[in-house]
Amino acid sequence: MWKRIYHTLERTFPSFTVDEWWGVTEPFARMAGSVLVQNTTWINASKALDRLEEAGLLEPAALAGETVERLAEVIRPAGFQRAKSAALLRLAGWVVEHGGVDRLRRLTDSTDELRRQLLLLKGIGPETADTILAYALTRPTISGDAYTRRLWQRLTGEVLSYEQVRRAILAELTEAEDLRRLHGLIVEHGKAICAKRLPRCSACLFADDCRYLHDSI
DNA sequence: GCCCAGGTGGGTA
DNA sequence: TACCCACATGGG
């Protein structure tokens, strides 16, 4: 089923690219962005990311040397700045401990092992961990976030947990690049529906009148 | 004004 | 395990 959803979305958005969708390509910027976007719009997260860049803090070592108070002020536009600044410090520290982003990307540890380590960091939950693994560390994983679960529910009527959706997708798609694209496409699809400006985003997202998927799956 | 956004952690039953 | 709530800002 997920393979078919993936191919349908690929046909619906033929010019989709992960890099354009993310807006940033640097691995550490994507790691920071994964934390900043928690329960926030990408627009707000992006403002905070720009401010980190201006402050010269998109380097793990530089960021790890900041105080939580200063960091909170810099990332303010993303909201939840107290929690997010502390989480960013822990994340930067974790990267530094591993000898930097490049070393981390070359590590031979299993994806599950890296995921376990990320989840030990307070402020990094399943979705943030999977986003970091997939988009910054190029690991074959995917988040079973709200968009994905809602899509599944609209198509099948089944309500699955984060981990259930994630496992279901991983059972069908194993290539890191496919998983990165699938998740981005799901979000793009949601945005396309939202662009119709229906009453509420959460209501119009994958609404019953959505023909992209219902017609072709 | 009011609701919501690509969550997380701590508490309670 | 399954809900409930606080956490903060900006846009529609």
A96 CA to B6 C1' distance (Å): 26
A59 CA to B4 C1' distance (Å): 32
A38 CA to B6 C1' distance (Å): 7
What integer pLDDT is reported at residue A189 of this predicted model?
A: 76
Per-residue pLDDT of chain A (217 residues; tens, 9 = 90+): 899 889 888 887 889 999 999 999 999 999 999 999 999 999 999 999 999 999 999 999 999 999 999 999 999 999 999 999 999 999 999 999 999 999 999 999 999 999 999 999 999 999 999 999 999 999 999 999 888 887 887 777 788 899 999 999 999 999 999 999 999 998 887 766 655 433 333 333 344 444 334 333 3
What integer pLDDT is reported at residue A143 of this predicted model?
A: 95
**Burial degree of A143 (CB within 10 A; 0-12, 13-18, 19+):** buried
What integer pLDDT is reported at residue A7 of this predicted model?
A: 87
Question: What gap in Å lies between CA A73 and CA A60, rounded to an integer?
Answer: 18
Question: Looking at chain A, which runs of residues are DSSP E strands?
Answer: none
Q: Is the pTM of this model over 0.85?
A: yes
What integer pLDDT is reported at residue A209 of this predicted model?
A: 43
A56 CA to C1 C1' distance (Å): 44
User: For strand C, which nucleotides have at least one atom less than 7 Å from a protein CB?
Assistant: 2, 7-12
What integer pLDDT is reported at residue A66 of this predicted model?
A: 97
Strand C closer than 7 A to residue A41 Cβ: yes
User: For strand B, which nucleotides have at least one atom less than 7 Å from a protein CB?
Assistant: 3-10
What integer pLDDT is reported at residue A190 of this predicted model?
A: 72
Between the two ends of chain A, the Cα-to-Cα distance in Å is 8
What integer pLDDT is reported at residue A171 of this predicted model?
A: 96
What integer pLDDT is reported at residue A195 of this predicted model?
A: 54
What integer pLDDT is reported at residue A203 of this predicted model?
A: 32
C-alpha dist (Å) from residue A79 to A24, A42, A74, A127, A181? 20, 12, 11, 18, 27
Q: Give protein residues whose Cβ lies within 7 A of nucleic acid chain B.
A: A 21-22, 34, 37-42, 44, 79-80, 83, 121-129, 131, 135, 145-147, 183-184, 187, 190, 200-202, 205
What integer pLDDT is reported at residue A194 of this predicted model?
A: 54
Strand C closer than 7 A to residue A202 Cβ: no
Residue A95: both structure tokens together = 């990267």
In angstroms, what is the C-alpha Rg of chain A?
Answer: 18
What integer pLDDT is reported at residue A192 of this predicted model?
A: 67
